[in-house]
Structure 1
């Protein structure tokens, strides 16, 4: 999209490190000459607003359910009108937010409105651009959780200001560019969803015998499994209760072994003992259960979500887990796949018990009564090899698609920054675009003509600033 864009023919130094050179005909204006503060209060019946870095200023119920102020304090909140800008306590991290809703917001926030209504669309892009957000760090006051932007200082800083018709051209171009890029991003995200669905469908078909992975076709003959939710099974497969396939392992007192945990995505893995976001503390390792390599372990409270897997090495697991050792020769990884399928999760819900459905627990006495498929050992191995290979292939496709999404977003960030700071001239490109039908009207923008011949219509922000 930016391939045909060229730099401006004549530039000048802005005097600001974050801006560098700007087009020679652009103005440099102090922030306080373009924006005024809104300090209106006493509107307790207006909806509560929240300032977010991803959605701008929106109604609080659309962003979060909890409110932090008592009803008697609502008259102290500041009024925000559509088209205003809000400096929140986190704006130094993500930029100044644009308001799409009228309502009231924390008195600790700074509410601004453009002196000229037609400025807000260009400013919405500028205030979320990477160079401007980086520049905001120089106006931060306070330490740690008490950090905030000192608007008295920020108000004296200079902003680039193209001519009015050029501001509209920049906003029009970026609205179209961001919408175009977002369509690509959504298409890539949908591709990832389809790949994940393909993986889950492939796993369920393979482990339940719907497809013979060695031929890619259904098995030649099926029979009734005798278990309603299992349905038909390949004629030569067995079906058995888990009590005949596994035995519970309850040994403790092996405190020197590594601690394991069950991840919904990765199965059983070694627990990160460095902490991270969720600090975990082990009071007495000797109270933890021993799990041996190739055992099956699951979280009793989250088994219905698929929190189960094959133990990769000898270790310890929480007393809240169930550890099962195979009774007969089997490919444990086959059951690691089987127990995470939707068909099995539904069975787990039936055999779990608890007060409410999302807190049901599946204990060993319930799990051992659930029936499982028992393919011949060589077929278990073939299924695992097939699914491992297919999983690696799909994971590579997912990773490549995620990287493409990252590149698209990086491109969008760079494009916005280059356009709003005058590094790329979009006037001719914008003249070829239809004006987005946004707040205030539409019409083609011709920024190549003198400003006196341009439309004087005011426009609102189309699309999400900084999305």
Structure 2
């Protein structure tokens, strides 16, 4: 998409912004409005009735960019907060920033208030209210831009958690067109983003259908094989049904070794995390049945050597065993950048027999694997898997694997 050029441009003085139209203003946020803190409360202070309250987790996940408290359902705080904590009450056109982020990508995450009812900003938030005649809708798009976000990301510090302070936000520079241009730009972006969001929603529906088809194809291949003409036999396993007559049905422990992590006093604490060293793999590093080095933590070689179990080898499988259970990925040194690593407390290692790594990983995507997990997992609030449960998961195994994965 191209747009007509303005007659004249000038250097904005902002590295990540470059040039702007000659007549546009360029100002730090401190000169356009005022900042203040959200409520100093915890989740325990929230109720189901009262005045809606927006917390930093909702800024990051549920309501990025915009929240309408007149429509969307939020947890609440008591109505008396309107008298005792009025400075943390926000209204139409205000902004709420999350003051911490677990990654650089989330630095600067905010939501723009578009509802008219009273709303409180909760814990770990920073409120920004305009004192100028700048359009809050236009400014919302400005704050969402790469050029503005980059300014904030250049200013934060942290290893595991990045802190976004009021001082960093005050120094963030915005660009200000004329009032008429602000209105035109905001209306244009409202229309275009709504159209794009509708396309995304449709594509997401298609992706979900393709995921279902993918699981069905994998499930059939690892339980029925690829030759539809071979004799079949009853597996005697619920949800598995018939398998090729020449296949064996075995618990996972017969074709692999299950290894728990080190849960002793030597287990790494937050203070043991460093910027580089031995990978400390967690569930957040499993994305779509693959291991990623994004947001990967590290421990020192000395700390690694003090641990007795939970040490990874190239070709191992890691499985999540607490919370979101059953996600499996291959530990690949080419991806992680190290031939070894250590698993966190929410994971277990599956060390397959030679040649079975990718086949077992494919089994983990199948319908019958997931059904076994659903039945075997324990814990009413947080689902968990034990070493015997994982080792007892049944797979259908060709006597001779003719296909290499």
**TM-score of the aligned structures, taking structure 1 as reference length:** 0.52
Query: What CA distance in whole angstroms lies between the structure 2 residues aligned with 1:311 and 1:158?
Result: 43
**Change in 2 beyond 3 A, CA 1:221/1:168:** same
SS of residue in 1 equivalent to 2:243: strand
Are positions 1:98 and 2:116 aligned together?
A: no
List gaps (5 residues or longer) in structure 1. 251-257, 389-467
Task: Using the TM superposition, give the Cα deviation of residue 82 of structure 1 relative to its aligned residue in structure 2, in angstroms.
Answer: 1.1
Could you say which residue in structure 2 is the equivalent of 1:148?
Answer: 166
Could you say which residue in structure 1 is the equivalent of 2:244?
Answer: 234
Could you say which residue in structure 1 is the equivalent of 2:191?
Answer: 176
Could you say which residue in structure 2 is the equivalent of 1:124?
Answer: 140
Query: What CA distance in whole angstroms lies between the structure 2 residues aligned with 1:126 and 1:335?
Result: 48
SS of residue in 2 equivalent to 1:6: coil
1:330-341 aligned at under 5 Å gives the runs: 331=356, 333-341=358-366
Is the Cα–Cα contact under 8 Å of residues 315 and 331 in structure 2 kept in the other structure? Answer: yes
Task: Using the TM superposition, give the Cα deviation of residue 242 of structure 1 relative to its aligned residue in structure 2, in angstroms.
Answer: 5.4
Query: What CA distance in whole angstroms lies between the structure 2 residues aligned with 1:12 and 1:349?
Result: 61
Is the Cα–Cα contact under 8 Å of residues 319 and 326 in structure 2 kept in the other structure? Answer: no
More strand by percentage = 2
Instruction: Name the Cα RMSD after superposition.
Output: 5.7
Task: Using the TM superposition, give the Cα deviation of residue 207 of structure 1 relative to its aligned residue in structure 2, in angstroms.
Answer: 0.5
Query: What CA distance in whole angstroms lies between the structure 2 residues aligned with 1:142 and 1:249?
Result: 39
Query: What CA distance in whole angstroms lies between the structure 2 residues aligned with 1:151 and 1:137?
Result: 11
Is the Cα–Cα contact under 8 Å of residues 65 and 144 in structure 2 kept in the other structure? Answer: no
Query: What CA distance in whole angstroms lies between the structure 2 residues aligned with 1:305 and 1:151?
Result: 40
Are positions 1:22 and 2:38 aligned together?
A: no
Q: Decide which of 316, 341, 363 is 2:387's aligned counterpart.
A: 363
Task: Using the TM superposition, give the Cα deviation of residue 7 of structure 1 relative to its aligned residue in structure 2, in angstroms.
Answer: 1.0
Question: Over residues 293-316 of structure 1, what are the superposed CA-to-partner deviations in whole Å (9 max), with x where a residue is unaligned?
Answer: 888776665895144769999979
1:105-116 aligned at under 5 Å gives the runs: 105=121, 109-112=127-130, 115=133
Query: What CA distance in whole angstroms lies between the structure 1 residues aligned with 2:324 and 2:110?
Result: 44
1:60-459 aligned at under 5 Å gives the runs: 74-85=84-95, 94=108, 98-101=112-115, 102-105=118-121, 109-112=127-130, 115=133, 119-132=135-148, 145=163, 147-149=165-167, 160-162=176-178, 164=180, 166-190=181-205, 192-209=207-224, 211-212=225-226, 218-240=228-250, 245-246=254-255, 264=286, 276-277=296-297, 281-282=303-304, 284-285=306-307, 287-288=308-309, 305-307=326-328, 321=348, 331=356, 333-351=358-376, 354-356=378-380, 358-364=382-388, 366=389, 371-377=394-400, 380-382=401-403, 385=404, 388=405
Question: Over residues 390-414 of structure 1, what are the superposed CA-to-partner deviations in whole Å (9 max), with x where a residue is unaligned?
Answer: xxxxxxxxxxxxxxxxxxxxxxxxx
Query: What CA distance in whole angstroms lies between the structure 2 residues aligned with 1:152 and 1:241?
Result: 59
**Change in 2 beyond 3 A, CA 1:299/1:95:** closer
Is the Cα–Cα contact under 8 Å of residues 33 and 128 in structure 2 kept in the other structure? Answer: no
Query: What CA distance in whole angstroms lies between the structure 1 residues aligned with 2:8 and 2:139?
Result: 21
Query: What CA distance in whole angstroms lies between the structure 1 residues aligned with 2:361 and 2:171?
Result: 60
Are positions 1:47 and 2:52 aligned together?
A: yes
SS of residue in 2 equivalent to 1:47: strand
Is the Cα–Cα contact under 8 Å of residues 280 and 299 in structure 2 kept in the other structure? Answer: no
Query: What CA distance in whole angstroms lies between the structure 2 residues aligned with 1:89 and 1:369?
Result: 44
Q: Whose RCO is larger (CA < 8 A, sep 6+)? A: 1
Could you say which residue in structure 2 is the equivalent of 1:412?
Answer: none
Query: What CA distance in whole angstroms lies between the structure 1 residues aligned with 2:312 and 2:100?
Result: 45
**Change in 2 beyond 3 A, CA 1:355/1:302:** closer
Query: What CA distance in whole angstroms lies between the structure 1 residues aligned with 2:165 and 2:133?
Result: 28
When Rg is computed on C-alpha atoms for both structures, the one with the higher figure is: 1
**Change in 2 beyond 3 A, CA 1:73/1:350:** same
List gaps (5 residues or longer) in structure 2. 39-49, 260-277
Task: Using the TM superposition, give the Cα deviation of residue 204 of structure 1 relative to its aligned residue in structure 2, in angstroms.
Answer: 1.2
**Change in 2 beyond 3 A, CA 1:19/1:161:** farther
